[in-house]
A and B are shown apart, each in its own frame.
Chain A
Amino acid sequence: MFTAGPPSASDRPARLVAAHARVFAETSPTALDPALRPFLADLVRPYGNALREDLLTEGVGHSFGEMAEAMLPTVVGPDEPVDLLVLAFAMHDLRLGRATACYLSDQCPGAPMAFAVCDQGSGAAFTALRLTESYLGSGACERALVVVVEQSALHYEPGEPAPIPDRHTGVVLRLERTGSPVAVGQHTGVDAQRVTQLLRHDVARLGRQATVVASARLAEAAPGVADVVADAGQPYTGIWCELADGGYEGVVLVADYEPSLGLLCTSTVDFSGNDHSAVDSAAVAVA
């Protein structure tokens, strides 16, 4: 059971201990669950979206729970209890009615406090990290997982243009009080004209060389800033896959821009092992 008194300010950064990314090629059995169609029909009815009967018949897509539970043993052992699990996603799950964070708590050592963050596009993963920092940094927990997921099946026509992943991907970040320091910055109210300037400013204020990993969308909005551009087919997990699989040393700044919300997010991870690194002094900013 999670218990806490009144929240206090976080006084230290969360630190990244491990990161694991995985692409799931298979389709979830949930894709052929008879409960999927009626729920989808109820979901879209007030908004007039046309169901994709072809995808429903084909049985495509993956469930966040099945993806994430397969990854958990890679980042935590059975004797390493977790205190907090935060799930972040943008496009919804295939298993529509499931409280997947809650389900994952039961699959995770320590049966952690668990919840999900969404309705923020690419910003959700950064917010999940930021909230995790607040729990870790205030002493409310010792070990946390941030799980970022996306799956590629949208069984109806979207009402407006939006990124749709072209594969099923999950990334799990393990955070504790020791490890590589992580800092999150979130700028709100950012129109496209300000993105480049703000991103360059965030890189410059680190005061040292950093590898900038950006989503394809951000790289287009802020040309010439990114050193590494994530796969456009992974709009919500690509940058985190790069962080997990890139084998980086030194300081890495992971960044994304969510134009629908005017939200520019950065997360800086210092792999140099220096406790007094630039990351420690990078304040969270909400403009």
Chain B
Amino acid sequence: MTALVEVAAHLPPDRVSLEELAPRFGLTERQVRLFRRFHGLDQVCLDNDGTLFDLLVAATDGLETLRGNEHRVKYVLYARGMPVAVPYPNNPLRDLCAKLGLDHALSFTVTHQACATGLLALDVAGRLLASDPDPEALALVVSGEKTFTPDAMLVPETAVFGEGAAAALVAADGPNDRVLSIATSVRGDFDGRLIIDPELAARFQYEYPRLLSEVLLAAVDRAGLTLDDIAVVLPHNVNSVSWRRVAKRIGYPVEQVLLDNVPVTGHSFAADPFLNYRTALDRGRLRPGERYLVGAAGLGATFSAMVFEH
């Protein structure tokens, strides 16, 4: 049963307020106020002077288990939300593997599920490990992206992207944070750029709570559980209000949804599940044996949820 071995989070040093970001996005004073009061946003973490490679290195630097176990890492997956992030043929993942002494590993990027790609990467890593004859084999999943273009900076009236990054070591089996189920709904009928298509944005916002709720409930059901068995929900950090709506819709206590990072980090693409896992762990929100539900949605659109046992 796929299990997390260790998760490390990196929040870059530059904390930028919504007011400072407003000119870059062309946000009015009213829109800033709306983001702050209604969506629960305040600031985002950016690495103004750093590259994508720097972000991924910083995330992996926090993995204590990696040191001395490099030889066990057979797969390195980059969970990337943006379909394109660097000019061809630049390959920060290859550079990361070289720096970490992981040239021997099979490295590749999974993408096209936007901000739900983090959960996809865990599922893919688990499948590779399950078929690997070496029970000691590990997979390294990294995530985190640069806010380099308007599509990677803002979801209108919904979210502001940040540059948090994360790294997770994954094993085919283990005692900690075992994957019980996954549910994914791919909805390509939401293809398009919300930033220039108000009609599509409105339809997406309208259908979003139902579609996200469906995968959350499906993942819980697939794990053979009910929502009463779920101790914590780890969301993606899109905003607070949408998660309040989803929690109300599925009848889950919103105070058990970990929204601590929404005002602090911004929406860090596919890294959010890992960042929030780290926060939950560090703040004592997860106790041994408890089951927790991780949810994410990505533009395009993909809705995904995973159930774990801590």
- Least Cβ distance of B53 to chain A in Å? 11
Is A100 a contact of B183 with CB atoms below 8 Å? no
Contact flags A92-118 to B (C-beta < 8 A → 1, else 0): 110011111111111100011111111
Is B188 a contact of A9 with CB atoms below 8 Å? no
Q: Using a CB-CB cutoff of 8 Å, which residues 69-128 of chain B contact chain A?
A: 74, 78, 82-91, 93-94, 103-114, 117, 120, 123-124, 126-128
Interface-side segment among A22-30, A44-52, A220-228: A44-52
Is A102 a contact of B300 with CB atoms below 8 Å? yes
Contact residues on A (Cβ < 8 Å of other chain), bracket: 35 or more
B181: CB under 8 A from chain A? yes
Chain A residues within an 8 Å CB radius of B298 = 99
Residue of B82, B89, B183 touching A1 (CB-CB under 8 A): B183
Chain B residues within an 8 Å CB radius of A38 = 149-150
A7: CB under 8 A from chain B? yes
Is A91 a contact of B89 with CB atoms below 8 Å? yes
**Of listed B89, B123, B183, residue having the most chain A CB within 10 A:** B89
Chain A residues within an 8 Å CB radius of B117 = 115
Supposing A43-B149, A105-B188, A188-B106 touch, asked if A6 and B179 sit within 8 A by C-beta, the answer is: yes
Is A189 a contact of B89 with CB atoms below 8 Å? no
- Least Cβ distance of B181 to chain A in Å? 5
Supposing A97-B151, A99-B111 touch, asked if A1 and B214 sit within 8 A by C-beta, the answer is: yes
Which A-chain residue is minimally distant from B148 (CB atoms)? A42
- Least Cβ distance of A69 to chain B in Å? 10
B4: CB under 8 A from chain A? no
Which A-chain residue is minimally distant from B104 (CB atoms)? A189
A49→B87 CA distance, assembly (Å): 8
Chain B residues within an 8 Å CB radius of A91 = 88-89
Supposing A102-B302, A114-B186, A115-B110 touch, asked if A260 and B89 sit within 8 A by C-beta, the answer is: yes
A188→B108 CA distance, assembly (Å): 12
Contact flags A250-278 to B (C-beta < 8 A → 1, else 0): 00000000001111000000000000000
Interface-side segment among A157-165, A168-176, A196-204: A157-165
Interface-side segment among B11-19, B216-224, B230-238, B280-288: B216-224
B259: CB under 8 A from chain A? no
Is B106 a contact of A92 with CB atoms below 8 Å? no
Interface-side segment among A73-81, A130-138, A205-213: A130-138
Residue of B51, B83, B103, B126 touching A97 (CB-CB under 8 A): B83
A178: CB under 8 A from chain B? no
Is B108 a contact of A127 with CB atoms below 8 Å? yes
- Least Cβ distance of A145 to chain B in Å? 13
Contact residues on B (Cβ < 8 Å of other chain), bracket: 35 or more
- Least Cβ distance of B299 to chain A in Å? 7
Chain B residues within an 8 Å CB radius of A102 = 112-114, 186-188, 191, 300-302
B185: CB under 8 A from chain A? yes
- Least Cβ distance of A44 to chain B in Å? 5
Supposing A1-B218, A159-B90 touch, asked if A117 and B110 sit within 8 A by C-beta, the answer is: yes
Is A4 a contact of B300 with CB atoms below 8 Å? no
**Of listed B85, B223, B302, residue having the most chain A CB within 10 A:** B302
Q: Using a CB-CB cutoff of 8 Å, which residues 138-154 of chain A contact chain B?
A: 138, 154
Is A119 a contact of B87 with CB atoms below 8 Å? no
Is A115 a contact of B87 with CB atoms below 8 Å? no
Pick the 6 closest A-B CB pairs, nearest first: A106-B188, A99-B300, A42-B149, A162-B89, A101-B112, A119-B109
A-B contact pairs, 29 of them (CB 8 A): A3-B182, A5-B180, A6-B179, A7-B123, A7-B179, A10-B130, A38-B150, A42-B148, A43-B149, A46-B148, A87-B112, A92-B83, A98-B83, A98-B191, A99-B298, A102-B191, A104-B188, A112-B186, A114-B188, A116-B111, A117-B109, A119-B93, A119-B109, A134-B127, A137-B131, A158-B88, A159-B89, A188-B106, A189-B103
